[in-house]
């Protein structure tokens, strides 16, 4: 299993939000390029960049993301507000390892199929989940869809993986939602990446034991709860 630091961008800075609430910003760092270099320097083999502004229609950090892609020595997943085929193609052309799609892909499965088949293995589907219900539009809209039913509906699309964020655990360092992640991993034919609430090495080992391909880490890394060197060494691929 691979551990992947999150670089969440807001107004040109790296931030961490409690529970995804823009009013509850706990961390703000002013130089995203430095943050990316620092994580790569610890030995992390991949980074996960999210444009929070684009995801919530508050603007975007597109030029900054382009700079991060050009500068980083570690492959990067990029997501947040990616809702057009042109945006997918542009990010891949700029060097993104994978493009993460969420809201539109969940609401428009024909579009998801189109971009997945055009870019096999390069599309990560982000399913943000609150108590097993999918939420979209920057976690502001809850859909009447169970995540396991949704996975079954998607069939054999050539996705690069499925990123499941337990929104009800996000930024709270209360531990991962292990039953959710275990059930998703069992149901999915794609690699599954977990996010939300991961706060200990035991969380990560438990996820690995249950077949998760990776984990995206935020608050626990930025607050020093997890040792980045130990983490990068044990969970490198």
Three-class DSSP labels, 63-127 = HHHHHHHHHCCCCEEEECCCCCHHHHHHHHHCCCCEEEECHHHHHCHHHHHHHHHHCCCCEEEEE
pLDDT at 208 over 70: yes
From the list 8, 51, 53, 203, the catalytic residue is: 8
For position 17, what pLDDT does the model report? 86
For position 170, what pLDDT does the model report? 63
| Rounded average pLDDT over 8-25 | 88
- Residue 173's pLDDT band (cuts 50, 70, 90): low
Q: Please give the mean pLDDT across all residues of the chain.
A: 92
| Rounded average pLDDT over 148-171 | 86
Separation of alpha carbons 6 and 48, rounded Å: 5
pLDDT at 168 over 80: no
- To the query of whether residue 128 is one of the catalytic residues in this protein, the response is yes
Q: What is the pTM of this model?
A: 0.93
- Residue 156's pLDDT band (cuts 50, 70, 90): confident
- To the query of whether residue 110 is one of the catalytic residues in this protein, the response is no
- Residue 87's pLDDT band (cuts 50, 70, 90): very high
**What is each CA distance from 87 to 83, 94, 98, 99, in whole angstroms?**
7, 10, 12, 9
8 Å CB contact between 181 and 147: no
From the list 51, 53, 128, 177, the catalytic residue is: 128
Domains of the chain by range and CATH? 2-234 (3.20.20.70)
For position 138, what pLDDT does the model report? 66
Rg of the chain in Å (alpha carbons): 16
């Amino acid at each position: 299993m691979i551990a992947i630091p999150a670089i969440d961008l807001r107004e040109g800075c790296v931030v961490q939000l409690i529970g995804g609430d823009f009013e509850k910003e706990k961390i703000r760092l002013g130089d995203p390029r430095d943050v990316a270099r620092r994580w790569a320097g610890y030995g992390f083999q991949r980074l996960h960049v999210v444009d929070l502004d684009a995801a919530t229609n508050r603007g975007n950090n597109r030029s900054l993301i382009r700079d991060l892609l050009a500068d980083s020595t570690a492959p990067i997943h990029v997501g947040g507000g990616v809702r057009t085929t042109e945006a997918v193609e542009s990010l891949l052309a700029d060097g993104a390892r994978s493009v993460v799609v969420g809201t539109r892909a969940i609401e428009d499965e024909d579009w998801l199929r189109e971009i997945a088949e055009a870019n096999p293995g390069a599309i990560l589907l982000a399913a943000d989940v609150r108590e097993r219900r999918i939420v979209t539009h920057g976690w502001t809209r809850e859909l009447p869809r169970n995540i396991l039913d949704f996975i079954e509906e998607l069939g054999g699309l050539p996705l690069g993986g499925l990123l499941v964020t337990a929104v009800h655990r996000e930024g709270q360092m209360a531990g991962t939602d292990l039953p959710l992640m275990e059930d998703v991993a069992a149901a999915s034919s794609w690699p599954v990446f977990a996010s939300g609430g991961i706060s200990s090495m035991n969380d990560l080992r438990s996820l690995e034991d249950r077949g998760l391909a990776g984990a995206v880490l935020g608050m626990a890394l930025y607050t020093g709860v997890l040792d980045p060197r130990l983490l990068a060494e044990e969970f490198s691929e």
